[in-house]
Amino acid sequence: MNSAPSLVNIDTLQNAVVTIDRHARVCSLNAAAQMMWGSTLNHAVGGSFTQWFVPEETLATLHNHITQGKADVCSGMLRLARSTESNGSHGQVHVILSPISSVADALAEPQSYCLECHQIGTYEMASQDAQWRAQVQNHQDLMRQLAHEVKNPLGGIRGATQLLQDELREVAPDLTEYTEMMLTQVDRLKNLVDQFLVPYRKGNIQPITMNVHEVCEAVYSVAKIEFPDIEWVRDYDVSVPDISGVSDYLQQLLLNLVQNAAQAVERSKPARPHVTIKTRAARHCLVGGEMHPLMVELAVVDNGAGVPADIYDTLFLPMVTQREGGTGLGLSVAMQIAQQHGGTIEVDSREGHTQMRVLLPIVKRVLAA
Protein backbone atom coordinates (compact mmCIF):
# COMPACT_ATOMS: atom_id res chain seq x y z
CA MET A 1 0.00 0.00 0.00
CA ASN A 2 1.31 3.40 -0.97
CA SER A 3 1.64 5.97 1.73
CA ALA A 4 -0.34 9.16 1.38
CA PRO A 5 1.61 12.22 0.27
CA SER A 6 2.51 14.62 3.02
CA LEU A 7 3.68 18.21 2.87
CA VAL A 8 5.47 17.96 6.22
CA ASN A 9 7.29 15.34 8.18
CA ILE A 10 4.54 14.24 10.55
CA ASP A 11 7.06 12.71 12.97
CA THR A 12 8.15 16.25 13.88
CA LEU A 13 4.65 17.15 15.09
CA GLN A 14 3.83 16.96 18.80
CA ASN A 15 0.17 16.03 18.32
CA ALA A 16 -0.88 12.60 17.13
CA VAL A 17 -1.20 12.65 13.33
CA VAL A 18 -2.52 9.92 11.04
CA THR A 19 -2.75 9.87 7.25
CA ILE A 20 -5.75 8.02 5.84
CA ASP A 21 -6.75 6.90 2.34
CA ARG A 22 -10.16 7.18 0.66
CA HIS A 23 -11.20 3.84 2.13
CA ALA A 24 -10.64 5.15 5.69
CA ARG A 25 -7.54 2.95 6.07
CA VAL A 26 -4.43 4.09 7.90
CA CYS A 27 -1.47 4.89 5.62
CA SER A 28 0.94 6.23 8.23
CA LEU A 29 1.05 7.60 11.75
CA ASN A 30 3.65 9.56 13.67
CA ALA A 31 5.39 8.69 16.91
CA ALA A 32 2.87 10.67 18.98
CA ALA A 33 0.00 8.68 17.48
CA GLN A 34 1.77 5.39 18.12
CA MET A 35 2.24 6.42 21.75
CA MET A 36 -1.39 7.59 22.15
CA TRP A 37 -2.85 4.33 20.85
CA GLY A 38 -0.09 1.97 21.90
CA SER A 39 0.16 0.73 18.31
CA THR A 40 3.18 0.18 16.09
CA LEU A 41 3.34 1.42 12.51
CA ASN A 42 3.30 -2.08 11.03
CA HIS A 43 0.32 -3.08 13.16
CA ALA A 44 -1.74 0.03 12.36
CA VAL A 45 -1.17 0.49 8.61
CA GLY A 46 -3.99 -0.98 6.53
CA GLY A 47 -6.54 -1.02 9.35
CA SER A 48 -9.46 1.35 9.73
CA PHE A 49 -8.76 4.50 11.74
CA THR A 50 -12.17 4.04 13.45
CA GLN A 51 -10.81 1.15 15.55
CA TRP A 52 -9.20 3.63 17.95
CA PHE A 53 -12.36 5.50 18.85
CA VAL A 54 -15.70 4.86 20.52
CA PRO A 55 -18.34 4.53 17.75
CA GLU A 56 -20.31 7.76 17.99
CA GLU A 57 -22.06 10.16 15.61
CA THR A 58 -18.96 12.33 15.14
CA LEU A 59 -16.87 9.31 14.16
CA ALA A 60 -19.49 8.25 11.61
CA THR A 61 -19.48 11.78 10.19
CA LEU A 62 -15.69 11.74 9.77
CA HIS A 63 -15.79 8.31 8.16
CA ASN A 64 -18.44 9.44 5.66
CA HIS A 65 -16.47 12.61 5.00
CA ILE A 66 -13.50 10.50 3.90
CA THR A 67 -15.30 7.83 1.90
CA GLN A 68 -17.37 10.45 0.06
CA GLY A 69 -14.23 12.37 -0.92
CA LYS A 70 -15.23 15.70 0.58
CA ALA A 71 -12.64 18.44 0.25
CA ASP A 72 -13.44 20.66 3.24
CA VAL A 73 -11.93 20.54 6.71
CA CYS A 74 -14.02 19.19 9.58
CA SER A 75 -13.42 18.73 13.28
CA GLY A 76 -15.04 17.44 16.45
CA MET A 77 -14.64 15.60 19.73
CA LEU A 78 -14.08 11.84 19.92
CA ARG A 79 -13.60 9.40 22.77
CA LEU A 80 -10.73 6.93 22.68
CA ALA A 81 -11.77 3.30 22.66
CA ARG A 82 -11.20 1.39 25.88
CA SER A 83 -8.70 -0.87 24.19
CA THR A 84 -6.33 2.10 24.06
CA GLU A 85 -6.52 2.89 27.76
CA SER A 86 -3.80 0.50 28.90
CA ASN A 87 -1.17 3.18 28.38
CA GLY A 88 -3.21 5.82 30.23
CA SER A 89 -4.60 7.46 27.10
CA HIS A 90 -8.22 7.62 28.20
CA GLY A 91 -10.77 10.35 27.66
CA GLN A 92 -11.52 12.72 24.84
CA VAL A 93 -9.54 14.00 21.88
CA HIS A 94 -10.21 16.96 19.63
CA VAL A 95 -9.67 15.91 16.02
CA ILE A 96 -9.18 17.91 12.82
CA LEU A 97 -9.60 16.12 9.48
CA SER A 98 -7.99 17.85 6.48
CA PRO A 99 -7.71 16.73 2.85
CA ILE A 100 -4.21 16.18 1.46
CA SER A 101 -3.83 17.55 -2.04
CA SER A 102 -1.30 19.35 -4.16
CA VAL A 103 -1.86 22.56 -6.09
CA ALA A 104 -2.14 20.57 -9.33
CA ASP A 105 -5.10 18.48 -8.17
CA ALA A 106 -6.69 21.00 -5.79
CA LEU A 107 -10.00 20.85 -7.66
CA ALA A 108 -10.16 17.04 -7.71
CA GLU A 109 -11.58 14.84 -4.96
CA PRO A 110 -8.97 14.21 -2.24
CA GLN A 111 -7.44 10.75 -2.29
CA SER A 112 -6.03 10.96 1.23
CA TYR A 113 -6.58 12.83 4.47
CA CYS A 114 -4.66 13.97 7.53
CA LEU A 115 -6.24 13.39 10.95
CA GLU A 116 -4.68 15.44 13.74
CA CYS A 117 -5.62 14.53 17.31
CA HIS A 118 -5.20 16.74 20.35
CA GLN A 119 -5.81 14.88 23.58
CA ILE A 120 -7.96 16.67 26.12
CA GLY A 121 -6.23 16.45 29.47
CA THR A 122 -7.89 15.47 32.71
CA TYR A 123 -7.99 19.10 33.87
CA GLU A 124 -9.70 20.25 30.65
CA MET A 125 -12.20 17.39 30.82
CA ALA A 126 -12.96 18.18 34.45
CA SER A 127 -13.43 21.85 33.56
CA GLN A 128 -15.86 21.00 30.77
CA ASP A 129 -17.74 18.61 33.02
CA ALA A 130 -17.92 21.20 35.82
CA GLN A 131 -19.29 23.85 33.45
CA TRP A 132 -21.93 21.48 32.13
CA ARG A 133 -22.93 20.40 35.64
CA ALA A 134 -23.22 24.02 36.72
CA GLN A 135 -25.52 24.73 33.77
CA VAL A 136 -27.71 21.75 34.62
CA GLN A 137 -27.78 22.74 38.30
CA ASN A 138 -28.87 26.29 37.45
CA HIS A 139 -31.75 24.98 35.36
CA GLN A 140 -32.74 22.50 38.06
CA ASP A 141 -32.70 25.18 40.76
CA LEU A 142 -34.90 27.43 38.65
CA MET A 143 -37.39 24.64 37.98
CA ARG A 144 -37.38 23.75 41.68
CA GLN A 145 -38.30 27.32 42.63
CA LEU A 146 -41.06 27.41 40.02
CA ALA A 147 -42.38 24.05 41.20
CA HIS A 148 -42.61 25.27 44.80
CA GLU A 149 -44.44 28.42 43.66
CA VAL A 150 -46.95 26.34 41.72
CA LYS A 151 -47.47 23.60 44.32
CA ASN A 152 -48.61 25.83 47.17
CA PRO A 153 -51.71 27.30 45.46
CA LEU A 154 -52.57 23.91 43.92
CA GLY A 155 -53.50 22.60 47.36
CA GLY A 156 -55.90 25.47 47.89
CA ILE A 157 -57.43 25.08 44.45
CA ARG A 158 -57.99 21.37 45.01
CA GLY A 159 -59.58 21.95 48.42
CA ALA A 160 -61.94 24.60 47.07
CA THR A 161 -62.87 22.39 44.11
CA GLN A 162 -63.61 19.47 46.43
CA LEU A 163 -65.92 21.66 48.55
CA LEU A 164 -67.68 22.89 45.40
CA GLN A 165 -68.15 19.31 44.23
CA ASP A 166 -69.72 18.33 47.57
CA GLU A 167 -72.19 21.23 47.27
CA LEU A 168 -73.04 20.39 43.66
CA ARG A 169 -73.88 16.80 44.57
CA GLU A 170 -76.76 18.21 46.62
CA VAL A 171 -78.08 20.90 44.26
CA ALA A 172 -76.85 20.10 40.73
CA PRO A 173 -75.35 16.61 40.49
CA ASP A 174 -75.20 16.82 36.68
CA LEU A 175 -72.55 19.55 37.02
CA THR A 176 -70.14 17.43 39.05
CA GLU A 177 -68.52 16.18 35.86
CA TYR A 178 -66.89 19.60 35.57
CA THR A 179 -65.49 19.50 39.08
CA GLU A 180 -64.25 15.97 38.42
CA MET A 181 -62.40 17.30 35.39
CA MET A 182 -60.95 20.14 37.48
CA LEU A 183 -59.76 17.70 40.16
CA THR A 184 -58.20 15.47 37.52
CA GLN A 185 -56.27 18.37 36.02
CA VAL A 186 -55.16 19.64 39.43
CA ASP A 187 -53.89 16.17 40.32
CA ARG A 188 -52.08 15.99 36.98
CA LEU A 189 -50.34 19.29 37.70
CA LYS A 190 -49.48 18.13 41.22
CA ASN A 191 -47.88 14.96 39.87
CA LEU A 192 -45.96 17.03 37.36
CA VAL A 193 -44.66 19.30 40.11
CA ASP A 194 -43.75 16.29 42.24
CA GLN A 195 -41.53 15.03 39.43
CA PHE A 196 -39.55 18.25 39.72
CA LEU A 197 -39.24 17.99 43.48
CA VAL A 198 -38.66 14.27 44.13
CA PRO A 199 -34.86 14.38 43.67
CA TYR A 200 -34.64 17.35 46.06
CA ARG A 201 -36.68 16.03 48.95
CA LYS A 202 -34.85 15.77 52.21
CA GLY A 203 -35.37 13.03 54.72
CA ASN A 204 -33.90 9.86 56.08
CA ILE A 205 -32.54 8.60 52.77
CA GLN A 206 -30.27 5.69 53.62
CA PRO A 207 -28.38 4.09 50.74
CA ILE A 208 -27.86 0.35 50.95
CA THR A 209 -25.46 -2.00 49.23
CA MET A 210 -27.21 -3.74 46.35
CA ASN A 211 -26.66 -5.62 43.14
CA VAL A 212 -27.56 -3.46 40.16
CA HIS A 213 -29.34 -6.40 38.52
CA GLU A 214 -32.06 -6.23 41.17
CA VAL A 215 -32.89 -2.80 39.79
CA CYS A 216 -32.67 -4.05 36.19
CA GLU A 217 -35.03 -6.95 36.78
CA ALA A 218 -37.62 -4.79 38.54
CA VAL A 219 -37.69 -2.32 35.63
CA TYR A 220 -37.56 -5.07 32.99
CA SER A 221 -40.71 -6.64 34.47
CA VAL A 222 -42.57 -3.34 34.12
CA ALA A 223 -41.21 -2.49 30.68
CA LYS A 224 -42.19 -5.73 28.94
CA ILE A 225 -45.79 -5.26 30.15
CA GLU A 226 -46.00 -1.53 29.33
CA PHE A 227 -44.45 -1.98 25.87
CA PRO A 228 -45.38 -5.52 24.73
CA ASP A 229 -44.67 -4.87 21.04
CA ILE A 230 -40.98 -4.21 21.67
CA GLU A 231 -38.40 -6.97 21.98
CA TRP A 232 -36.68 -6.56 25.35
CA VAL A 233 -33.13 -7.89 25.65
CA ARG A 234 -31.17 -8.39 28.88
CA ASP A 235 -27.39 -8.32 28.46
CA TYR A 236 -25.93 -8.58 31.94
CA ASP A 237 -22.37 -8.96 33.17
CA VAL A 238 -23.07 -10.83 36.39
CA SER A 239 -19.56 -10.15 37.66
CA VAL A 240 -20.04 -6.39 38.10
CA PRO A 241 -19.45 -5.18 41.68
CA ASP A 242 -22.23 -4.11 44.03
CA ILE A 243 -23.24 -0.47 44.23
CA SER A 244 -24.52 1.70 47.06
CA GLY A 245 -27.79 3.55 46.57
CA VAL A 246 -31.53 3.89 47.07
CA SER A 247 -33.35 1.19 45.16
CA ASP A 248 -36.56 3.17 44.53
CA TYR A 249 -34.62 6.10 43.10
CA LEU A 250 -32.43 3.92 40.89
CA GLN A 251 -35.49 2.07 39.61
CA GLN A 252 -37.05 5.43 38.73
CA LEU A 253 -33.84 6.45 36.95
CA LEU A 254 -33.74 3.29 34.85
CA LEU A 255 -37.50 3.34 34.21
CA ASN A 256 -37.23 6.87 32.83
CA LEU A 257 -34.44 5.80 30.46
CA VAL A 258 -36.32 2.67 29.41
CA GLN A 259 -39.55 4.58 28.73
CA ASN A 260 -37.63 7.19 26.77
CA ALA A 261 -36.01 4.46 24.65
CA ALA A 262 -39.30 2.63 24.08
CA GLN A 263 -41.07 5.81 23.00
CA ALA A 264 -38.22 6.62 20.60
CA VAL A 265 -38.52 3.16 19.04
CA GLU A 266 -42.30 3.48 18.73
CA ARG A 267 -41.95 6.83 16.95
CA SER A 268 -39.37 5.62 14.42
CA LYS A 269 -41.01 2.21 13.79
CA PRO A 270 -37.96 0.10 12.85
CA ALA A 271 -38.56 -3.29 11.25
CA ARG A 272 -37.51 -5.11 14.44
CA PRO A 273 -37.98 -2.77 17.41
CA HIS A 274 -35.84 -3.72 20.37
CA VAL A 275 -34.40 -2.23 23.53
CA THR A 276 -31.48 -3.69 25.46
CA ILE A 277 -30.76 -3.29 29.16
CA LYS A 278 -27.11 -4.11 29.78
CA THR A 279 -24.54 -3.93 32.57
CA ARG A 280 -20.77 -3.75 32.38
CA ALA A 281 -17.75 -2.83 34.48
CA ALA A 282 -16.39 0.52 33.26
CA ARG A 283 -12.78 1.59 33.85
CA HIS A 284 -11.03 4.96 33.95
CA CYS A 285 -14.17 7.11 34.14
CA LEU A 286 -14.00 10.85 34.81
CA VAL A 287 -17.14 11.90 36.71
CA GLY A 288 -17.55 15.18 38.53
CA GLY A 289 -13.86 16.01 38.21
CA GLU A 290 -12.83 12.72 39.84
CA MET A 291 -11.17 9.84 38.00
CA HIS A 292 -12.71 6.50 39.00
CA PRO A 293 -10.62 3.41 38.29
CA LEU A 294 -13.78 1.27 38.30
CA MET A 295 -17.50 2.03 38.01
CA VAL A 296 -20.64 0.09 37.23
CA GLU A 297 -22.13 0.81 33.82
CA LEU A 298 -25.89 0.47 33.43
CA ALA A 299 -26.98 1.15 29.85
CA VAL A 300 -30.19 1.27 27.83
CA VAL A 301 -29.73 0.80 24.08
CA ASP A 302 -32.46 1.22 21.45
CA ASN A 303 -32.65 1.08 17.66
CA GLY A 304 -34.76 4.19 17.19
CA ALA A 305 -34.05 7.18 14.98
CA GLY A 306 -31.53 8.75 17.35
CA VAL A 307 -31.39 12.05 19.22
CA PRO A 308 -31.94 15.13 17.02
CA ALA A 309 -28.83 17.28 16.70
CA ASP A 310 -30.64 20.42 17.87
CA ILE A 311 -31.31 19.01 21.36
CA TYR A 312 -28.26 16.78 21.75
CA ASP A 313 -26.34 19.17 24.03
CA THR A 314 -29.39 20.07 26.15
CA LEU A 315 -30.95 16.63 26.39
CA PHE A 316 -30.82 16.41 30.20
CA LEU A 317 -32.12 19.91 30.90
CA PRO A 318 -35.71 20.25 32.18
CA MET A 319 -38.44 20.79 29.57
CA VAL A 320 -36.29 19.52 26.66
CA THR A 321 -38.15 16.83 24.72
CA GLN A 322 -38.54 15.45 21.20
CA ARG A 323 -41.93 13.86 21.94
CA GLU A 324 -45.13 15.75 21.19
CA GLY A 325 -46.94 16.34 24.46
CA GLY A 326 -43.89 15.33 26.51
CA THR A 327 -42.81 17.26 29.61
CA GLY A 328 -39.07 16.85 29.16
CA LEU A 329 -38.71 15.80 32.80
CA GLY A 330 -37.82 12.11 32.50
CA LEU A 331 -34.18 12.47 31.49
CA SER A 332 -33.66 15.51 33.72
CA VAL A 333 -34.89 13.59 36.77
CA ALA A 334 -32.78 10.59 35.76
CA MET A 335 -29.66 12.76 35.61
CA GLN A 336 -30.43 14.29 39.02
CA ILE A 337 -30.75 10.84 40.58
CA ALA A 338 -27.53 9.66 38.94
CA GLN A 339 -25.66 12.70 40.25
CA GLN A 340 -27.07 12.20 43.75
CA HIS A 341 -25.54 8.73 43.64
CA GLY A 342 -22.15 10.17 42.65
CA GLY A 343 -22.58 9.17 39.01
CA THR A 344 -23.64 10.58 35.67
CA ILE A 345 -25.36 9.67 32.40
CA GLU A 346 -23.65 9.74 28.99
CA VAL A 347 -25.39 9.55 25.63
CA ASP A 348 -24.12 8.12 22.34
CA SER A 349 -26.64 8.48 19.54
CA ARG A 350 -26.84 8.06 15.80
CA GLU A 351 -29.43 6.76 13.35
CA GLY A 352 -30.55 3.31 14.46
CA HIS A 353 -28.54 3.28 17.69
CA THR A 354 -28.92 5.30 20.90
CA GLN A 355 -27.24 4.35 24.15
CA MET A 356 -27.93 6.00 27.50
CA ARG A 357 -25.01 4.97 29.71
CA VAL A 358 -25.35 5.40 33.48
CA LEU A 359 -22.08 5.33 35.43
CA LEU A 360 -22.34 4.57 39.15
CA PRO A 361 -19.49 4.35 41.67
CA ILE A 362 -18.90 1.10 43.47
CA VAL A 363 -17.77 2.85 46.65
CA LYS A 364 -20.31 3.78 49.27
CA ARG A 365 -21.47 7.40 49.06
CA VAL A 366 -23.92 9.46 51.05
CA LEU A 367 -26.60 10.88 48.79
CA ALA A 368 -26.85 14.63 48.45
CA ALA A 369 -29.82 16.21 50.18
**CATH superfamily, domain at 208-361:** Histidine kinase-like ATPase, C-terminal domain (3.30.565.10)
In eight-state DSSP terms, residue 17 is: E
From the candidate CATH numbers 3.30.450.20, 3.40.630.40, 1.20.140.10, 3.40.250.10, the one assigned to the domain spanning 10-120: 3.30.450.20
The answer, as to whether pTM is greater than 0.85, is no
**What is the distance between the alpha carbons of residues 303 and 350, in angstroms, rounded to a whole number?**
9
On whether the CB atoms of residues 363 and 164 are closer than 8 A, the answer is no
Nearest by Cα to 256 from 336, 183, 167, 340: 336
C-alpha dihedral sign at 83, 85, 89, 91? positive
Query: Taking the domains of the chain in order of start, what are their residue ranges?
Result: 10-120, 126-200, 208-361
**What is the distance between the alpha carbons of residues 359 and 342, in angstroms, rounded to a whole number?**
9
On whether the CB atoms of residues 117 and 101 are closer than 8 A, the answer is no
**What is the distance between the alpha carbons of residues 78 and 93, in angstroms, rounded to a whole number?**
5
Nearest by Cα to 219 from 166, 260, 167, 178: 260
Identify the three-state secondary structure at position 357. strand
On whether the CB atoms of residues 54 and 38 are closer than 8 A, the answer is no
Please, what is the average pLDDT of the chain? 78
Nearest by Cα to 256 from 367, 146, 338, 365: 338
pLDDT at 138: 65
The greatest distance separating any two alpha carbons of the chain, rounded to the nearest whole angstrom, comes to 93
pLDDT at 15: 77
CB neighbour list of residue 347: distance below 8 Å, 6 or more residues apart:
307, 312, 315, 354, 355, 356, 357
In eight-state DSSP terms, residue 77 is: E
On whether the CB atoms of residues 316 and 335 are closer than 8 A, the answer is yes
- Per residue of the chain (369 residues), give pLDDT as tens: 444 344 445 666 667 889 999 899 999 888 888 887 776 767 788 889 888 888 878 888 889 889 988 887 887 788 887 544 433 344 678 888 888 865 444 456 778 888 988 766 544 555 555 665 666 666 666 666 666 666 778 888 888 989 998 988 888 888 888 888 888 878 867 765 665 565 545 444 578 889 999 999 999 998 999 899 999 999 999 999 999 888 888 988 999 999 999 999 998 888 899 999 999 998 877 787 677 778 999 999 999 988 877 776 677 776 555 555 555 677 888 888 888 888 999 888 888 899 999 999 985 444 444
pLDDT at 5: 40
**What is the distance between the alpha carbons of residues 176 and 178, in angstroms, rounded to a whole number?**
5
Counted residue by residue, the chain has a size of 369
pLDDT at 44: 82
Structural Rg of the chain based on CA atoms: 25
C-beta atoms surrounding 55 within 10 Å: 17
On whether the CB atoms of residues 356 and 255 are closer than 8 A, the answer is no
